[in-house]
Amino acid sequence: MEFDRTRTAVLFLVLVAAGVAALLAMGVMATSTVLMMVAPAMLVFGAICLGIGVKHGEYRVGGTR
């Protein structure tokens, strides 16, 4: 499957939403804690990992330049 920015962003948000929904459904934390602390942290950490992954993919495809 070819990934473009739109598809990557949608899949990223779906993955974070699934994680937040699972935490809310399990009831292990207060809803306000999940929405105000965990969700933003998941978004930031996910964006950092996505950026590292994209750069690593560019490195692997392009070789050493």
Residue 64 clears pLDDT 70, i.e. is over it: no
State pLDDT tens for residues 16-36. 999 999 999 999 999 999 999
Alpha helix ranges (H) inside 1-65: 5-26, 31-33, 39-62
pLDDT band at 63 (very low <50, low <70, confident <90, very high): low
The predicted model gives 39-57 an average pLDDT of 95
| 63: three-class secondary structure by DSSP | coil
- Whole-number pLDDT of residue 52: 95
Q: Quote the mean pLDDT of the chain.
A: 92
Is residue 31 within 8 Å of 24, Cβ to Cβ?
yes
